[in-house]
Amino acid sequence: MPLELFLDLFSQPCRSVYIFAKKNNIPFDFKTISLMEGHQYGEEFGKVNMMRKVPAIRDGDFCLAESVAIMMYMAEKYKTPDYWYPADLHKRARVNEYLSWQHMGIRMHGSKMFWINVLIPKIMGRGVPEEKKNAAMEELNGSLKMIEEKFLQDRPFIAGDHISLADLVAIVEVYQPVGACIDVFEGRPKLSAWRDRVRQEIGPELFDEAHQGILCCQEMVNSLDVNKMEAFKPRIVQMFF
Ligand SMILES: N[C@@H](CCC(=O)N[C@@H](CS)C(=O)NCC(=O)O)C(=O)O
């Protein structure tokens, strides 16, 4: 049985797993888990990932969650080119440094702006208070500054001359607020040039295909059945109001 990938491409870590598998010609079955439809709470998916988060994979009777662990598993199993997760001690340490930072360093900040601008007005019928929105935007700006000044510096990619898992994990996060009409590249030439290099390395066609949903998310939002979003409301209130 081919590798099964359980994904929703509106999710950043799902996009990195999807791009990694496609770019490396890893054969897989795409299993759609629509988060907005609540598929993550289904009985079948609970057997794949009891944490009820995507991405997740099933390889025979082996199940695995967490995007970074999944990509490392695929890198080892399918012996993908070294530059993705370099064997060189210092280059690998650079990749690990970014992968360790990003969970708390940017993930929440990009996601928050997406929820604030796109999902919350639809689900709650009102926007979040202006001061919370401004604070979230400031946090996101801080994260982007860190990517430019700490993780990229004057290197073409995070670990040096080649794209790696770090760049892939970074670009999908940086694109989440772009889906919420926030031009994170404006006034950031270093970030823009890095985005162009990463897109080119991945291949513009695959890059754009993976991001198409998030960049046209208004369509998805317009068609959302808010009655199916009740489960999100207590979490939204707790985090944003
Ligand atoms: N650290 C995890 C994050 C997984 C995660 O938070 N996934 C979100 C989508 S981006 C999810 O499945 N959320 C469903 C829910 O919370 O109901 C990874 O990198 O895979």
CATH number of the domain that 135 lies in?
1.20.1050.10
The range of the structural domain enclosing residue 35 comes to 3-80
Last residue of a domain, one of 80, 111, 140: 80
CATH of the domain at 54: 3.40.30.10
For residue 59, the cross-strand partners are 62
Of all protein residues, the one whose alpha carbon is nearest to atom 1 of ligand 1 is: 66
Say what the pLDDT of residue 158 is.
98
110 and 29 part of one domain: no
Say what the pLDDT of residue 209 is.
98
221 and 105 part of one domain: yes
Say what the pLDDT of residue 51 is.
98
CA 54 to ligand 1: nearest atom: 12
Taken in order 217, 116, 173, 103, the sign of the CA dihedral is negative
Ligand 1 centre to CA of 40 (Å) is 10
Distance CA 117, CA 104 (A): 21
Last residue of a domain, one of 45, 80, 115: 80
Say what the pLDDT of residue 15 is.
98
Give yes or no for residue 110 CB within 6 A of ligand 1: no
Ligand 1 centre to CA of 162 (Å) is 28
Q: Which residues contact 166 (CB under 8 A, 6 or more apart)?
A: 94, 95, 97, 98, 99, 151, 157, 158, 159
129 and 206 part of one domain: yes
Say what the pLDDT of residue 221 is.
87
199 and 133 part of one domain: yes
Number of domains in the chain: 2
Say what the pLDDT of residue 225 is.
87
Ligand 1 centre to CA of 5 (Å) is 14
Say what the pLDDT of residue 192 is.
98
pLDDT averaged per 10 residues, the chain (length 241)? 95 98 98 94 97 98 98 98 98 98 94 93 93 96 98 98 98 95 96 98 98 91 86 89 89
97 and 212 part of one domain: yes
- Structure tokens of 75? 């890198």
68 and 109 part of one domain: no
Ligand 1 centre to CA of 224 (Å) is 19
Say what the pLDDT of residue 226 is.
86
Say what the pLDDT of residue 229 is.
83
61 and 125 part of one domain: no
131 and 228 part of one domain: yes
Give yes or no for residue 102 CB within 6 A of ligand 1: no
- Structure tokens of 178? 């772009």
Of all protein residues, the one whose alpha carbon is nearest to atom 3 of ligand 1 is: 66
Distance CA 47, CA 35 (A): 16
Say what the pLDDT of residue 208 is.
97
100 and 133 part of one domain: yes
Of all protein residues, the one whose alpha carbon is nearest to atom 5 of ligand 1 is: 53
Say what the pLDDT of residue 1 is.
81
Say what the pLDDT of residue 228 is.
82
124 and 201 part of one domain: yes
Residue type, 234: P
CB atoms within 10 A of CB 102: 22
Say what the pLDDT of residue 132 is.
94
Ligand 1 centre to CA of 154 (Å) is 32
95 and 112 part of one domain: yes
51 and 96 part of one domain: no
Last residue of a domain, one of 52, 80, 108: 80
Q: Which residues contact 240 (CB under 8 A, 6 or more apart)?
A: 115, 116, 120, 128, 132
